[in-house]
Structure 1
Amino acid sequence: MTFTKTTAALLAATLAAGGASAQEKVTLSDLSWNGARAIGHVIEAIIEGPMGGDAEIVQGMNQAAVIMAGMDKGDGSIDVYTDLWMPNQQALWDEYIDGNQTVAVNAPYQGTSNIYVPSYMTDKVSSIEDLANPEIAAMFDTDGDGKGEYWAGDVTWASTKRWQIKFKSYGLDELWEPNIVSADTFKAGLEAAYSAGQPQLFYYWTPEALHVRYDLIALEEPGRTEGCEDVDLDAENWLEVSTFDCVIAANDVYVGYSKSLETRNPAVAKMLSNIQFSGDEINEWIVEMFDNKRDPQEVAEEWIADNMDTVQGWIDG
């Protein structure tokens, strides 16, 4: 089945006849990692295709606190947080989801977060303990300051703080320093380094197409024990007061949406409450949209056409 504008119009007419047509325009976040981007395109295509509605990914809307505050206001400035990683955004969850109860979420998919090296490095580095060796750290020192570098993430991400806390808690901050740059800048550097067989150490997550493109190994870390993660990212001196000396637990990752949609656009609110992704699906979208550089709308529409029973179930509830 090819998902065309004619197909979309027919599906929209059918839904409208049943009273399930979309209403107000729905605005979606523009988060900076590919998984979130892919999810945004798929949600946008569902609303504009089979639901016959109007949706927009708001360019530059990528600050977690701004997104959650906008959804809390319920004025339509931003309606959907496409990829809410927990517990990375625990404080915002506590304020808006559990506290104000103005933001709702779907059932999550599972994501993981680890520190990686290319597989060609594993004869030298296979565990977090190996990073305490000054000779190993020196291999990753590209600016000659005596410290190895690791990519901790984008400056706007909560996870970037977490990795700095982890390196401090493991006693590695005297030998290592974070390289805090955008994901696009990091990936360009990784591509060049990987091609040349050079050392690279970096935070990354699943699902993501990077694991399809490169052969990567997650470093072994101590298992989780009670009290091993005691983090306060909102404290002014967050690095000093926080400790984190164990592996990161698997993340629950949600689609968050403004509860105001329940009155402004109940059909979309219902769909978002039912929507359920898997890591494999998201990886497929990422590969097609960003690695294979296909038009994201085309990829999203093809997936919807091939999985219309699933999508219809989300819409109908």
Structure 2
Amino acid sequence: MTRSILATTTFLTAALAGGLAHAAEVTPARGTWDSGWFNTEIYIAAIEALGHTVNEPVTLDDAVRYQALSQRDADFSVMEWFPLFNERFSAFDELEQVGYVIRGGAREGYLIDKATADAHGIDNIADLADPEISALFDRSGNGIADMVACPPGWDCGVVIDHHMSEFGLEGSIDLISAAYDAAMADVIAAKQAGESVLFYTWTPNWVLGELVPGEDVVWLEVPHSTLPEAQSALIGQTAISGVVGCASDPCELGFPANDIRPVAHSDFLDENPDIRRLFEVMELSLDPVAEQNVRMRAGEDTPADITRHAREWIEANQAQFDAWIAEARAAVD
């Protein structure tokens, strides 16, 4: 299904000025976590402004998404985390990483409520090996901490499982792998009721708009840098500077900082040099994505809302957007 005609005169004018001789019908892929759907909509608008027809995005789990991109059942995704997806990406020689959506700002880690951290001096995930500390976060009645983790099939789960084993926490933390947003809504309600809470999250995401690091929650460090074998080259690169709400600076989060990057099939990029160039020059920042995620959490979460959020961001940054389009168009002029 193709999308509706561009909503503003600016976009339509840009598309006509670019010429349609090279126009393609493009199908975006996107991940199942909606915190990146805003980014996808901004990139869709840019590709439309170049004169291409863009179909509705297909929402796919990680493994299926990479297969779809490799088979050209989908053309691109701008929700790819690296180094988190290094192993998955390396299996497909025909795919390319091109440019950056958000450079180095995507973080992951473990957090607890600040009140419990302050009352018990907890600043490291290994503190939960103490049965008395673990029991503080028990919400199921079995005496063991409950932690919201990754949904099944997400690559972050491989790192979490490695940490649980490496730090001897498999008998101290029960991982909750249900639907993430619903599980985190339960965590937020528990926090507001004065209960101790423990969870994994990433940035950008709506969660840290509601549970603010340094005010409501704190990041937990890990005892030392350790990663699964596929990411072993990144051991020693998991201490991140400037993390608000962490006891140390740099903060040993246990996860390397990730770049969010576009991925597409090499043939697609060769056939559409303007889109390749767009991916090379276009780049967003973390703050507007986090702000938009909070708006989604507040109820502005329909497909029309997310598209509107993207349009509003473009209108507020029109000069930059137009410069990206002009540079991308020059690749085919």
Name the TM-score, length of structure 1 as normaliser: 0.82
How far the C-alpha of 1:216 sits from its partner, in A, is: 2.2
CA distance in 1: counterparts of 2:11 and 2:135, whole angstroms: 57
CA distance in 2: counterparts of 1:305 and 1:181, whole angstroms: 37
Q: Paired residue for 1:55?
A: 54
Q: Paired residue for 2:112?
A: 117
What's the CA shift string for 1:65-97, capped at 9, x where partnerless? Answer: 2222222223xx21122211122212222122x
2:136 aligned to which of 130, 134, 139 = 139
Q: Paired residue for 1:130?
A: 127
Change (3 A) 1:246 1:302: closer
CA distance in 2: counterparts of 1:209 and 1:134, whole angstroms: 31
CA distance in 2: counterparts of 1:220 and 1:263, whole angstroms: 44
2:195 aligned to which of 194, 198, 201 = 198
CA distance in 2: counterparts of 1:211 and 1:82, whole angstroms: 22
How far the C-alpha of 1:22 sits from its partner, in A, is: 6.4
Q: Which runs of structure 2 are paired with 1:131-280 in the superposition (5 Å)?
A: 131-214=128-211, 215-224=216-225, 228-232=226-230, 247-280=254-287
2:315 aligned to which of 300, 305, 308 = 305
CA distance in 2: counterparts of 1:266 and 1:6, whole angstroms: 25
Q: Given that residues 38 and 309 in structure 2 are in contact (C-alpha distance below 8 angstroms), is that contact kept between their aligned partners in structure 1?
A: no
Tell me the number of residue pairs that the alignment of Structure 1 and Structure 2 aligns.
291
Query: Structure 1, unaligned stretches of length 5 or more?
Result: 234-244
Instruction: Give the AA of the match of 1:31.
Output: G
Q: Report the 3-state secondary structure (helix = DSSP H, G, I; strand = E; otherwise coil) of the residue aligned with 1:281.
A: helix
Q: Report the 3-state secondary structure (helix = DSSP H, G, I; strand = E; otherwise coil) of the residue aligned with 1:304.
A: helix
Q: Given that residues 145 and 172 in structure 2 are in contact (C-alpha distance below 8 angstroms), is that contact kept between their aligned partners in structure 1?
A: yes
CA distance in 2: counterparts of 1:14 and 1:303, whole angstroms: 22
Establish whether residue 105 from structure 1 lines up as the match of residue 112 from structure 2. no
1:80 aligned to which of 76, 98, 105 = 76
How far the C-alpha of 1:223 sits from its partner, in A, is: 4.5
Structure 1 runs (4+) deviating above 6 angstroms are none
Instruction: Give the AA of the match of 1:5.
Output: T
Q: Given that residues 22 and 51 in structure 1 are in contact (C-alpha distance below 8 angstroms), is that contact kept between their aligned partners in structure 2?
A: no
How far the C-alpha of 1:198 sits from its partner, in A, is: 1.4
CA distance in 1: counterparts of 2:269 and 2:280, whole angstroms: 10
Establish whether residue 26 from structure 1 lines up as the match of residue 26 from structure 2. yes
Change (3 A) 1:231 1:146: farther
Establish whether residue 6 from structure 1 lines up as the match of residue 9 from structure 2. yes
Instruction: Give the AA of the match of 2:89.
Output: W
Q: Given that residues 30 and 57 in structure 1 are in contact (C-alpha distance below 8 angstroms), is that contact kept between their aligned partners in structure 2?
A: no
Change (3 A) 1:167 1:250: same
Name the TM-score, length of structure 2 as normaliser: 0.79
How far the C-alpha of 1:190 sits from its partner, in A, is: 1.8
How far the C-alpha of 1:232 sits from its partner, in A, is: 4.6
Q: Tell me the percent identity.
A: 23
Q: Given that residues 152 and 177 in structure 2 are in contact (C-alpha distance below 8 angstroms), is that contact kept between their aligned partners in structure 1?
A: yes
